[in-house]
Amino acid sequence: MFNKMCVVGLGYIGLPTAVMFANHGMKVHGVDINEKAISLIKNKQLHIEENGLPEKLETAIDSGNLSVATTPEEADVFIIAVPSPIRDDKSANLEYVRNATEAIVPYVKKGNLIILESTVPPLTVEKVMMPELEKTGLNIGEELYISHSPERVIPGKVFEELVNNDRIVGGINEKSSELTKDLYKLFVKGEIHLTDATTAEMVKVIENTYRDVNIAFANELAKISDSMGVNAWEAIKLANFHPRVNIHTPGPGVGGHCIAVDPWFLVELKPDLAQIIHLARNTNDGMPLYTAKKVQSLLEDKQIIHGRVAVLGLAFKGNIDDMRESPAIEVLQHLAELGLDYSVYDPHIKENNLERQTQNIHEATEHADIILILTDHDEFKKFDPSVIADDMRTKMVFDTKNCINRESWEKQGFEVRVLGDSKNS
């Protein structure tokens, strides 16, 4: 029934989605306002990092099924996969969704299906998208079909999860839901669950809020353990052997385009009711400062007042190049506020986006008094500390992700400290 698709937003979700449909026989026109990204994609190059994407993008373009531009085209299906960030006051910024919807209005025709994949606050389809789509003059629900099918994938495993994860589809009516289900069945092997649009919006926000609250609990356990002679990582691991317990792990904060953002949607909608959610958000948002102060304390214990910190990791999670909402950025800000010099290195961030960023790990560790690990990249897990041991002024490492091999670092003379572990300090 549907032969051509227009995907608006070619970022971490939109581009893999466009490529996936193109490689399953759909004619796909991808749209993004980022002219540099469009230029790169046309030349089979990437502005994002994702396992398997280079090869799949090349196949999609060579087949003739994928084209890209900065403006939409007429299609049978439109997928909107644009950012939905929060503002400085923690309110939802839905202008990207509104503008993307407005941009496709001139190209929409009778019988089209519009799908929102962006994670958004409940009622966004109803209050933001539908008023824009009514400008088409088409009868919503009878001549124009709309649904929300939120992405549920993790960076680094996008293609695997696009295929195998269950999918939530929420239409504005039953016809919209069924059409969307039929479309995704082109490649989705997981079960496709149908509901209404507002419930689908709520489901995705619930999923990420659950994880945020769980991580906040783990971070509180880490802070408590820091002063009790307990290793929180060991305690959590043992607690999780209970068949009904699944505690996440602590860290220097929560990042990414979902977990660090979505809970604020519920806080904004119902501030008087979302009290646990709000507290969890504040707990996780407070971890970068806690981390920076811990570094300062470790240095002061060595009588080092204005020490130099070698920061390893900028991405919000391991083995990706995504810095969106990364707690590392705030950690760096707090280090500077505390008067600590630093240099930062991340093997997955190929361009120097920050003033003190380097592409050379030796430049980061030279004359450093402490190494601060903020991201659990495989490169750091497997790193041979002898490579940089002679660079250091003081051999100390603070691992906020519990990801390095303590024995190998200690063998090179490093004093190893781990967030939430006062048992082994």
Q: Is the confidence at residue 227, as pLDDT, over 80?
A: yes
Element (H, E) at 61: helix 53-62
Q: Which letter does DSSP use for residue 345 in this model?
A: E
Give Cα 203 to chain centroid, integer Å. 17
250 touches 403 (CB < 8 A): no
Element (H, E) at 120: none
Phi, psi angles (nearest 5°) of residue 6: -120, 120
Q: Is the confidence at residue 156, as pLDDT, over 80?
A: yes
- Indicate the range of 99-108, 148-157, 178-187, 301-310 predicted with least confidence: 148-157
What pLDDT sits at residue 258? 86
Structure tokens that stand for 420 in this block? 């939430």
Q: Is the confidence at residue 1, as pLDDT, over 80?
A: no
Q: Is the confidence at residue 155, as pLDDT, over 90?
A: no
Domains and CATH numbers, the chain: 4-196 (3.40.50.720), 229-425 (3.40.50.720)
Q: Which of 46, 2, 253, 39 shows the shortest CA–CA distance to 19?
A: 46
Instruction: Compute the half-sphere exposure of residue 252: CA atoms within 13 Å on the CB side of its CA.
Output: 36
Q: Among 56, 204, 223, 317, which one carries the catalytic annotation?
A: 204
2 touches 76 (CB < 8 A): yes
343-395 tens-digit pLDDT? 999 999 998 989 899 999 999 999 999 999 999 999 999 999 999 999 999 99
Q: What is the pTM of this model?
A: 0.92
Element (H, E) at 316: none
Q: Among 181, 258, 294, 395, which one carries the catalytic annotation?
A: 258
Burial profile 156-179: b = 16 or more Cβ within 10 angstroms, e = fewer: bbbbebbeebebbbbbbeeebbeb
Q: Specify whether 6 is catalytic.
A: no
- Indicate the range of 177-186, 219-228, 252-261, 380-389 predicted with least confidence: 252-261
What pLDDT sits at residue 121? 97
Q: Give me the mean pLDDT over the 17-39 stretch.
A: 96
Confidence of residue 142 (pLDDT cuts 50, 70, 90): very high
- Indicate the range of 153-162, 275-284, 351-360, 398-407 predicted with least confidence: 153-162
Confidence of residue 256 (pLDDT cuts 50, 70, 90): confident
Element (H, E) at 421: none
118-141 tens-digit pLDDT? 999 999 999 999 999 999 999 999
Rg (CA), the chain: 23
Q: Give me the mean pLDDT over the 189-198 stretch.
A: 98
What pLDDT sits at residue 295? 98
Spatial separation of the C-alpha atoms in residues 169 and 235, rounded to whole Å: 39
The burial of 328, by beta-carbon neighbours within 10 Å (0-12 exposed, 13-18 middle, 19 or more buried), is given as: buried
202-213 tens-digit pLDDT? 999 999 999 999
Structure tokens that stand for 68 in this block? 């890209």
In degrees, to the nearest 5, what angle opens at C-alpha 226 toward C-alphas 225 and 231? 55
Q: Specify whether 109 is catalytic.
A: no
Q: Is the confidence at residue 49, as pLDDT, over 90?
A: no
